[in-house]
Amino acid sequence: MGRKIFKEEHQIFRESFGKFLEIEVVPFIEKWEHEGIVPKEVWRKMGENGFLCPWLEEKYGGSNAGYEYSVVINEELSYVGANGLLAGLHSDIIVPYLHAFGNEEQKMRWLPGCASGDIITAVAMTEPGTGSDLAAMRATAVREGNEYVINGQKTFISNGINCDLVVLAVKTDTKASPPFKGISLICVEDGTPGFEKGRNLDKMGLHSQDTAELNFVDCRVPASNLLGKEGQGFYFLMKKLQGERLIASIMAQSMAEAMLKMTIKYSKERTVFGKPISSFQHNTFKIVEMATEIELGRALLDSLIADYIAGEDIVMKVSMAKAWIPEMANRVAYHCVQLHGGYGYMEEYPICRFARDVRVIPIFAGTTEVMKVIVGRMMEL
Catalytic residues: 244
- How long is the chain? 381
| Integer Cα distance of 142 and 194 in angstroms | 14
Judging by beta carbons within 10 Å of its beta carbon (0-12, 13-18, 19+), is residue 367 exposed, middle or buried? middle
167 three-class SS: strand
What's the distance, CA 178 to chain centroid?
29
Cα separation of 303 and 299, whole Å? 6
Provide CB contacts within 8 A for 380, sequence distance 6+. none
Which residues partner with 153 through β-bridges?
Answer: 215
DSSP-derived 3-state class of residue 183: strand
DSSP string, 261-319: HHHHHHHHH-EETTEEGGGSHHHHHHHHHHHHHHHHHHHHHHHHHHHHHTT---HHHHH
Q: Where are the alpha helices (DSSP H) in the chain?
A: 8-24, 29-35, 40-48, 67-79, 87-89, 95-101, 104-116, 233-269, 281-309, 315-340, 350-358, 368-378
CA dihedral 280, 281, 285, 288 (to 10 degrees): 60
Instruction: Using alpha carbons, list the distances in angstroms from residue 72 to 2, 7, 10, 65, 134.
Output: 14, 12, 8, 12, 31
For residues 153 and 134, what is the distance between their CA atoms, to the nearest angstrom?
13
